[in-house]
Amino acid sequence: MIEAFFSAIPLMIMLTGVLTGISAALLGSFLILRGNAMLTDAISHSIVFGIIIVWLLTGQTSGPVQVLGAAITGVLTVVLSELLARSKLVKMDAAIGLVFPALFAAGVILISINARNVHLDVDSVLLGEIGFVWLNTVALLGVDVPVAVATLGAVLVVNLSFVLLLWKELKLATFDAGLAAALGFLPGVLHYAILTLTSVTAVAAFDAVGAILFIAFVVVPPATAYLLTRRLWLMVLLAVGFAVAAVISGYFLALHWNVSIGGMMASMTGVWFALALLFAPAQGLLAQALRARSERLDHDCRTLVAHLFTHQDTPAMAEENTLRALVDHLRWPAPRARAAVLRAHDRDLIERRDGLLSLRPKGKAEVEAIFGRSDT
């Protein structure tokens, strides 16, 4: 039963993706809230350098030494960038942009020089080979489990414990680093802990999705979740959900169109993001447009009732308190005037009496609120 599960290739590919997605989304939620998304970019490029250096030193392309090497390279990238920026010779963004391409370029050159001896090649650096994760297995408790699944499973346990155990500290350090420091929570240590774990996760996910697609899993699902909620725990949960959904839908679409599995999974994170960007209930572009329209209508309503009030019971009333006057005197286009009258009618602010528009009690109250009840 268990053996059948671990030898089912599609399941293993999806499991690898799901483990990657969850591990990345857990950390990514904090990274994007802290404004460190582009550090992930830098880290995931430069660990290529760490991987090849560790290989040159030890001959290993995976395992604990490799994880350690990647973690060191990842943190080194960030430290070097921060040192460079602190020297005031270049700005922080340029510092990041100088350090990681240099390390990445050095890594790629070392790979090409040693191409015949190492199974890493430039393609797998970029794309990963999630379709082949099942080729490389390890026996765990008598069951052959793909190495990637075992490593990523371990990484997930570490990341999950980190987030659960340090939840309060992470939350505080993310939203109020100053207070966290004052309370003695060492936000700097947490910062580097998150970045170290990101490097570790990146190297574990490397075989599966490659350097650049890893960034999609770190950044995009948490950003999608952030558009939907302001609660941290819900955001993390939603991020995990979007990552899993992207992995599974991406896998089937990739099979259907016969394209890169990792690429399709990462593309799907973008599809969820685009949907959230358009249709999120409060923050979505559509909701924003509707809100802006509704605010404009309310504003027109206020102008309308003010206009009616000014001319109420005056000789000009017959001429002014009509739809025509709104078009002629306020210079509103006819549809805008009609929409405002309808809206005011719906809100029970005005009524139509003897062919004229006049204020209802609620409309009078609104005018008084606008003019500040000067006449009572």
Partner 1 sequence: MSAIIALLSSDIVQTVLIGAALLGAISGMLGTFAVLRRQSLLGDALSHAALPGVCLGFLVAGGRDLGSVMLGAFVTGALAALIMMLIARRTTLKTDAALGIVLSVFFAVGIVLLTVIQTQGGSGSLGLMTFLFGQAAAILRSDLWIMGGVGLGALVLVLALWKEFKLVSFDADFARSQGFPVTLLEAVLTVMVALAIVVGLQLVGVILMVALLIAPAAAARQWTNSLGGMVLLSAAIGALSGAGGALVSATTRGLATGPVVVLIATVIVMISLLIAPGRGLVWQAAATRRARARISDGRVLATLQGFAQMHDDARYPSERGMLQVALGAKPPAATLASLESRGLIRSVTHPPETTPHWELTKAGHSEAATLSGTDHKKQSSE
Which residues contact partner 1 (rule: CB under 8 A)? Answer: 32, 35-38, 40-41, 45, 84, 87, 89-91, 93-94, 96-98, 101-102, 104-106, 108-109, 112-113, 115, 122, 126-127, 212-213, 215-216, 218-220, 223, 226-227, 254, 257-260, 262-267, 269-270, 273, 277, 283, 285, 288
Q: Please, which residue, 4 or 89, has the CB nearer to partner 1?
A: 89
Contact 69, 53 (CB under 8 A): yes
- Identity of the amino acid at 32: I
Least distance to partner 1 from the beta carbon of 82, Å?
15
Q: Please, which residue, 181 or 212, has the CB nearer to partner 1?
A: 212
Q: Please, which residue, 140 or 259, has the CB nearer to partner 1?
A: 259
Q: Please, which residue, 7 or 283, has the CB nearer to partner 1?
A: 283
Opening angle at CA 250, ends 244 and 235, nearest 5: 30
Count of beta carbons in the 10 Å neighbourhood of residue 156: 20
Least distance to partner 1 from the beta carbon of 110, Å?
9
Q: CA-CA distance, 370 to 336, in Å (whole number)?
A: 21
Token reading at 250: 């991406």
Residue 138 backbone phi and psi in degrees, to 5: -135, 145
Q: Please, which residue, 170 or 227, has the CB nearer to partner 1?
A: 227
Least distance to partner 1 from the beta carbon of 19, Å?
18
How far from each other are the two terminal CA atoms of the chain, in whole angstroms? 83
Least distance to partner 1 from the beta carbon of 45, Å?
8
Cα separations (Å) of 29 from 73, 163, 360?
Answer: 22, 10, 51
List of residues 6+ apart from 292 with CB closer than 8 A: none
Closest Cα partner for 265 from 228, 223, 212, 226?
212
Least distance to partner 1 from the beta carbon of 3, Å?
32
Q: Please, which residue, 154 or 271, has the CB nearer to partner 1?
A: 271
Least distance to partner 1 from the beta carbon of 263, Å?
3
